[in-house]
Amino acid sequence: MVTNKEKIELLKTRTEEARQGGGPKRIQKQHERGKLTARERLDLLLDPGTFSEGGMFIVPQDTAFSKDARKFYGDGVVTGSGLVDGRRVYVFAQDFTVMGGSLGEKHAHKICRVMDKGIQTGSPIIGLIDSGGARIQEGLGHYGSIFFRNTLASGIVPQISIILGPCAGGAVYSPALSDFVFMVDGVSRMHITGPQVIKEVTGERVTPEELGGAKVHSTRSGVAHFATEGEKECLELAKTLLSYLPSNSNEPPPYKSTDDPIDRTEEALESLIPENPRKAYDMKTLIGLVMDDQIFFEVQEGFARNIIIGFARLNGYTVGVIANQPRVFAGCLDINASVKAARFIRFCDAFGIPIVNFVDCPGYLPGTQQEYEGIIRHGAKMLYAYCEATVPRISVVTRKIYGGAMSGMAVSKLVGTDVTAVLPSAEIAIMGPEGAANIIFREEIQKADDPEAVREEKIRLYREQFATPYVAAEKGWVDAIIEPKEIRPFLITSFERLRGKKEIRPKKKHGTIPL
């Protein structure tokens, strides 16, 4: 008869066996690739001693896949819950040392259970992804159950996907359905079809890194929101992101006390924006000077750099920041910028995060390429997102805004913006001075002895008489004209007045955003 002591010893033995994943040799191989194991990653992500694991002793059901399959507890994924900075999260970490972290029936069930509990308890869901894909015999159909839960969780709890190895084929769509994607340079790979298949079908030769590495997805495709040099840095960055986010859509974002005075003014803002409207400046400098402790947490920094998005705090409260970047395409809106901003606006709105816009935009990027690729359709996504949003929204025009971009950048209060402010040097008009002068004074310019001199004079005249913030204020387009150094106290005071804002919209199943 087996004694209780022997049973306890058996439990300890099997627990240690489960913790070893694919065993010491495969763990060593993982380390040789420059990668951490699933459990090492969870140790870095979660507060020490807080991880509670579920499904440790589940084994793969498909013995045909591997003659050793039943020896591996956990079925290639470690799942459970823990704390990040004292707040509960639900996590799954695919274990590449066990059958390459491949997805089978029980593997998928474990992930789905974690996602279900995240939704039920109102806790963020974090996936650490390192997988060779679906098992041929049993895995492929089970991705659908994960995608379904990604969609159920959307707008209820934040979803974060951290790619720490391969993620290919159907597996890529779960990260794509989540809110934020992290990648590590030289370690992460995401692609629908691999280099070999592409070579066979199209004849194109491409390396895995060129096809789906962190740099590609953080700068060209826009799939990744963050790219880092190492895994530890990546996990720390994910924890920083969580510090700005609420646990779910029914809770306010976390408050962080600050010694930064509410009434702090910044003299440096007085000279930041050049008097020459054609000269660029760095909008990130302005954002940093305004926010608590001069900290700005940028999102998707390398993609569509003509628009800036990210999180910051004002008087301790999280705000979402959207800003034109005059240093790239003069801050014009284009397809990628519109899609980037639209998704961020909808996230902030879903999770009750107020939005502040810093606006310096001459309009939409002109050209046949933009028109042919659908700037009308894609630009409408950003407009739709602003109009749909009900969180407090404030726009500050730092230098210029013309025409349709007044709605596109939510300067116009007609699209639901709560407060619009402009700086004294800002230009706000239906058309830019150059275009307006060419149309209004066309005949006069053409008949002049020196057309270029007359044109420049008419541009100056239009800028002084029609594009001034005072004309906009007289028409009721803006609520306030403020000094640059007063931006911070103005925003804090305005958001305080908007705290608790509620909007009642027509009841409907959902809108039809122009996807």
Cite the active site residues.
Answer: 169-170, 404-405
DSSP letter (8 states) at residue 103: B
CA–CA gap between residue 247 and residue 153 (Å, rounded): 12
CA–CA gap between residue 400 and residue 249 (Å, rounded): 35
Q: Which residues contact 401 (CB under 8 A, 6 or more apart)?
A: 359, 360, 361, 409, 411, 426, 427, 428
Rg (CA), the chain: 27
Beginning with the edge strand found earlier in the chain, give each strand of the sheet holding 226-228 in spatial order: 52-54, 77-84, 87-94, 125-129, 159-163, 180-184, 226-228
The residues that bridge with 77 in the sheet, in sequence order, are 94
CA–CA gap between residue 468 and residue 81 (Å, rounded): 56
Phi, psi at 398, each rounded to 5°: -90, -30
CA–CA gap between residue 256 and residue 236 (Å, rounded): 18
Tokens representing residue 228 in the block: 């880092």
Concatenate the DSSP letters of all residues of 152-181 into one string.
Answer: HHTTTS-EEEEE-SEEEGGGGHHHHHSSEE
In terms of Cβ atoms closer than 10 Å to its own Cβ (0-12, 13-18, 19+), residue 409 is buried
Q: Which residues contact 64 (CB under 8 A, 6 or more apart)?
A: 137
State which H helix or E strand residue 299 sits in: strand 297-299
Residue 173 and residue 139 in contact, taking contact as beta carbons nearer than 8 Å: no
Best CA proximity match to 50, nearest among 89, 80, 82? 82
